[in-house]
Amino acid sequence: MKSLRLGLLFLALGASFVASADPGKLRILTWSDYIPADVAEDFRKETGVQIEVTLTNNEDIIARLRKSGGSGYDLVHPSHDRVAGAQQQYRIYKPLDLSRIQLDRFLPEMMAATQKNTTLNGEVYGVPYLWGTEGLTVNTRRAQNVVDYTDLCREDLRGKTAMRAVRPVIIAFAFAYGEDPFALYRDPKAYAAMANRVVDRLIPCQRNAGKIFSGEKELQDAFRSGQITAAMFWDAPSWAMNREAAPVRYIAPKSGMLGWIVATTIPAKGSNDAAAYAWINFATRPEIAARITKSAGNFSAARGTLKLVDPKLKAQLYRTFPKGFVNIHWYENVPPGIEDAEAPALKRLREAR
């Protein structure tokens, strides 16, 4: 019995040690360029906390935290539509203590949208970090009158368009075909039927495309070489190409852009909450947020940032969004079962190529 008590004591001490391990390190699971090295160094100088970055994507975030039970990292950047569903299924995040966050530093629209998507049972699990969109990128000198996703299927552009074989393409084309995919999220069977209807029409369109791409550099190179003249693409790499060659424009499709917000969350078993909250407040200072915007190419959700960013990038923002955040379909929460429901349709789309 004595040895059992000693064993339990050592286990408790071990757990306590792990929970408080290395308060001088903040382990962040994030996307490429979202934590600039110079900003991380300034955070270290100010707080004494070294940032350790691991690069990831949405699927990887869920897989890692699910496998570890929410441990291994202290701060994570999932998309705002991938928080509540994952939390409901796997309990991988902890509720945020909003009293420790300077909420007045966030753009109200971004905060409202993020809280709507990351609130579960009255608890908030995320605040906004960066935001971006996916729309149409067009070389206006080589492809005229491209105004919606369905124009990528035009016969006169055969071999000169590009898209991915992923769920955002199904969602975007669903809107272009007059459907509302987000309205069907609560009915996986109806959503699966919609996905199949869209894929039936997408297969010929995909065969019309000159390129099915997976990464931004791959598509940028195709635009630069003249191989591709129109594509469904993201804003930041499109604006980068526009700065190189003015005819390459990022435009809002008639049926609407797809909008995402990168949220800041804290894993369920993160071991350095103090540093995580310090980083959240540090990253929302306008001068810091502007530096993050420069690195990521996407705009911060922090107030007062635009006056500090590159004037060319700011001009591109206003040119793309002259009326503000209108005609953007912000991603809704991905509920459990939806990705399984759409998987057969996506498989058909990929195999048809």
CATH number of the domain encompassing residue 99: 3.40.190.10
In this structure, are 7 and 125 located in the same domain? yes
Q: Which two tokens stand for residue 203?
A: 């297969």
Q: How many CB atoms lie within 10 A of CB 353?
A: 10
In this structure, are 145 and 200 located in the same domain? yes
d(CA 234, CA 298): 10
Q: Identify whether 327 is part of a domain.
A: no
In this structure, are 276 and 343 located in the same domain? no
Q: Identify whether 44 is part of a domain.
A: yes
In this structure, are 63 and 138 located in the same domain? no
Cite the DSSP H helix spans in 245-310. Answer: 273-283, 286-296
Q: How many CB atoms lie within 10 A of CB 128?
A: 25
In this structure, are 268 and 150 located in the same domain? no
In this structure, are 138 and 223 located in the same domain? yes
At residue 72, the pLDDT reads 97
In this structure, are 125 and 267 located in the same domain? yes
Nearest to 147 by CA among 258, 254, 257, 233: 254
In this structure, are 211 and 342 located in the same domain? yes
Q: Identify whether 198 is part of a domain.
A: yes
Q: Which domain holds residue 147?
A: 132-259+332-352
Name the β-bridge partners of 330.
259
3-state secondary structure of 88: helix
At residue 323, the pLDDT reads 86
Query: What's the CA angle centered on 81, arms 58 and 268, to 5 degrees?
Result: 65
Containing 250, the helix (H) or strand (E) segment is strand 248-251
d(CA 237, CA 216): 7
Q: Identify whether 59 is part of a domain.
A: yes
In this structure, are 339 and 212 located in the same domain? yes
Q: Count of alpha carbons within 13 Å of 309, Cβ hemisphere only? A: 24
3-state secondary structure of 37: helix
In this structure, are 146 and 281 located in the same domain? no
Q: Identify whether 272 is part of a domain.
A: yes
Q: Based on the structure, what is the number of domains in the chain?
A: 2
Give the pairing of strands 248-251 and 127-139. antiparallel
Place of tokens 């526009």: 242
In this structure, are 345 and 317 located in the same domain? no
DSSP annotation of 93 reads B
At residue 125, the pLDDT reads 98
Q: Identify whether 326 is part of a domain.
A: no
At residue 20, the pLDDT reads 42
At residue 304, the pLDDT reads 96
At residue 168, the pLDDT reads 96
Place of tokens 């297969």: 203
First-residue to last-residue Cα distance in the chain: 66
Q: Identify whether 45 is part of a domain.
A: yes
The pTM (predicted TM-score) of the whole model is 0.88
d(CA 252, CA 135): 6
Q: Identify whether 222 is part of a domain.
A: yes
As to burial, measured by CB atoms within 10 angstroms (0-12 exposed, 13-18 middle, 19+ buried), residue 295 is middle
3-state secondary structure of 272: coil
Place of tokens 């050592």: 10
3-state secondary structure of 85: helix
pLDDT tens for the 353 residues of the chain, in order: 433 333 433 333 343 334 446 789 999 999 999 999 999 999 999 999 999 999 999 999 999 999 999 999 999 999 999 999 999 999 999 999 999 999 999 999 999 999 999 999 999 999 999 999 999 999 999 999 999 999 999 999 999 999 999 999 999 999 999 999 999 999 999 999 999 999 999 999 999 999 999 999 999 999 999 999 999 999 999 999 999 999 999 999 999 999 999 999 999 999 999 999 999 999 999 999 999 999 999 999 999 999 999 999 999 999 999 988 889 999 999 988 899 999 999 999 999 97
In this structure, are 274 and 174 located in the same domain? no
